């Protein structure tokens, strides 16, 4: 983070386009087809979308747990970066996920919301859904450690 004003939950330092550029540059091995896209960034909230494909499936034609966890972590990382700026070494310190129902092979959305933006730890709630925000497929509590 820069030495200027401390990060604020009420102010963004990166918008959707900047976040997507950063993720593409930070993870060059991920193809555009497998990388989640940030579609909304506002103070305290980021929404990301993933279009899963056959490689994302587990037996039973459901989106796999590891794919869902990767989307959760990407959305959480984007939320942190949106508020602190392009700091590559912000890292996941904990991620606890609850799978609530099977996730069909449809676009999956992740809504990441700030719970607390501290000087060293950021706590977030991330909810996954496909067709309706009211019918979650998973919910996660995520913490990031800041450098």
Every domain of the chain and the residues it spans: 16-145
Instruction: Please provide the distance, in angstroms rounded to a whole number, between the alpha carbons at the two ends of the chain.
Output: 8
CATH of the domain spanning 16-145: 3.10.129.10
What is the per-residue pLDDT across 79-95, written as a single tens digit (0 to 9) for each?
999 999 998 899 999 99
pTM score of the predicted model: 0.94
Q: pLDDT for 18-60, tens place per residue?
A: 999 999 999 888 877 778 999 999 999 999 999 999 899 998 9
The per-residue pLDDT of the chain, averaged, comes to 94
Task: Give the separation between CA 124 and CA 142, rounded to whole angstroms.
Answer: 5
Residue 101 token pair: 């129902």
125: left (phi over 0), alpha (psi -120 to 50) or beta: beta
């Amino acid at each position: 983070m820069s030495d200027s004003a401390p990060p604020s939950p009420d102010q963004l330092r990166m918008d959707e386009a900047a976040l997507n550029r950063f993720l593409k540059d930070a993870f060059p091995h991920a193809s555009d087809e497998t990388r989640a896209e940030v579609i909304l960034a506002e103070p305290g909230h980021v929404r990301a979308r993933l279009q899963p494909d056959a490689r994302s499936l587990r037996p039973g034609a459901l989106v796999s747990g590891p794919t869902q966890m990767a989307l959760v972590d990407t959305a959480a990382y984007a939320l942190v970066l949106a508020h602190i700026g392009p700091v590559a070494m912000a890292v996941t310190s904990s991620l606890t996920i609850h799978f609530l129902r099977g996730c069909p092979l449809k676009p999956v959305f992740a809504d990441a919301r700030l719970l607390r933006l501290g000087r060293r730890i950021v706590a977030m709630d991330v909810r996954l859904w496909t067709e309706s925000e009211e019918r979650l497929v998973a919910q996660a509590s995520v913490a990031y450690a800041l450098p």
